[in-house]
């Protein structure tokens, strides 16, 4: 990543905190309005047998501990992708209504760098849909609404004496396979960079399944997103000259797509979990949902070099030393 110092605006820690609050409050309101969502509380802790833990790409270690009273083993959530769908049923939400929540998690295996942290904070959201909505068209409509909320938040910041980053409101959509064909000799991350630098706001469709060269664009758990109806939302981050992923989202699996993806991933043992049984028995609503990184969005709109400028987390000596040398003040 290249640090473009001429694009970097110095801010005091107090000013950063002020703008972080403005961004989070404004974006929440915009997101809830655009997607017709209501805020709910969410768990930090789940049990393995519930099947509600998000396994992400399937290799990350969870943070676990046992309880003093009964020895029960508890896991800290890695995301709420599965819990949210269960919550839609619990709250008995009608068609095209949804929920959002503040999700905090610990991902112990995540790397630490300018845009990654072991502490995760995001808005997790989920919305009830009809079977007829399980289309690329509906997915794209939802992505455009989220980008509209980001754009509204960026414009709002300008009212508070801060020259916020300009957001391109026009979304460029491309499938991961078409992106591979466009840049066949580049890695997935290099392909993301090339397309996002060109179009500024990009949604890469269909992530998780194998592409024509024999590997997926990126790994995805097999039991929450339908790999044919999902994707990642990127914005061009000028200060770092990079493609910054702000959201991963998608239309969730139905019975058929879950069975197919579990088989492809050799994860069919999960069919014994309560969550998976409920999908097989059509006891959970069809839905669309995703996560939107809170710190990532603040980093984007405030043009920050390091994610540690907009969140308090643990940083190793390498990150601390690098930021000190560049004059970057972490929270």
Q: Provide the annotated active-site residues.
A: 54, 107, 122, 232, 245, 248
List Cβ neighbours of 265 (8 Å cut-off, separation of 6 or more). 58, 222
- 8 A C-beta contact, residue 211 and residue 228: no
CA distances for 136 relative to 149, 199, 219, 250, angstroms: 20, 20, 20, 10
Task: Count Cβ atoms below 10 Å from residue 145 Cβ, excluding itself.
Answer: 15
Q: Which of 288, 287, 321 is nearest to 306 (CA)?
A: 321
CA distances for 40 relative to 92, 121, 167, 284, 308, angstroms: 13, 15, 29, 18, 27
Q: How far is CA 27 from the centre of its chain?
A: 15
- 8 A C-beta contact, residue 240 and residue 305: yes
β-bridge partners, 216: 210
CA distance 254 to 9: 46
CA distance 183 to 298: 30
CA distance 12 to 327: 12
DSSP E strand stretches across 136-224: 172-175, 201-205
Q: How far is CA 47 from the centre of its chain?
A: 22
């Amino acid at each position: 990543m290249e640090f473009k110092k001429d694009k970097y605006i110095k801010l005091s820690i107090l000013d950063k905190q002020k703008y972080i609050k403005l961004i989070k409050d404004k974006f929440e309101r915009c997101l809830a309005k655009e997607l017709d969502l209501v805020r709910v509380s969410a768990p930090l802790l789940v049990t393995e047998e519930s099947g509600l833990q998000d396994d992400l790409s399937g290799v990350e270690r969870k943070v676990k501990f046992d309880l003093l009273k009964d020895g029960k083993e508890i896991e800290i959530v890695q995301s709420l992708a599965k819990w949210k769908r269960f919550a839609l049923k619990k709250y008995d939400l009608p068609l095209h209504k949804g929920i959002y929540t503040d999700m905090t998690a610990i991902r112990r295996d995540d790397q630490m760098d300018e845009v990654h942290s072991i502490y995760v904070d995001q808005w997790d959201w989920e919305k009830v849909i009809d079977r007829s909505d399980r289309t690329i068209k509906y997915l794209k409509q939802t992505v455009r609404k989220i980008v509209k909320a980001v754009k509204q938040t960026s414009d709002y910041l300008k009212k508070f004496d801060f020259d916020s980053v300009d957001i391109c409101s026009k979304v460029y959509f491309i499938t991961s396979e078409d992106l591979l064909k466009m840049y066949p000799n580049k890695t997935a991350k290099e392909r993301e960079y090339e397309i996002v630098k060109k179009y500024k706001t990009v949604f890469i469709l269909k992530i998780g399944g194998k592409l024509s060269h024999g590997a997926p664009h990126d790994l995805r758990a097999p039991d929450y997103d339908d790999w044919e109806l999902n994707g990642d939302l990127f914005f061009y981050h000028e200060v770092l000259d990079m493609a910054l992923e702000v959201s991963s989202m998608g239309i969730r699996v139905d019975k058929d797509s879950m069975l197919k993806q579990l088989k492809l991933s050799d994860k069919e043992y999960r069919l014994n979990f309560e969550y998976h049984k409920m999908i097989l028995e059509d006891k959970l609503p069809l839905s669309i949902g995703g996560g939107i990184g809170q710190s990532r969005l603040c980093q984007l709109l405030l043009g920050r070099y390091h994610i540690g400028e907009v969140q308090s987390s643990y940083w190793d000596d390498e990150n601390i030393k690098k930021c000190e040398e560049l004059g970057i003040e972490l929270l």
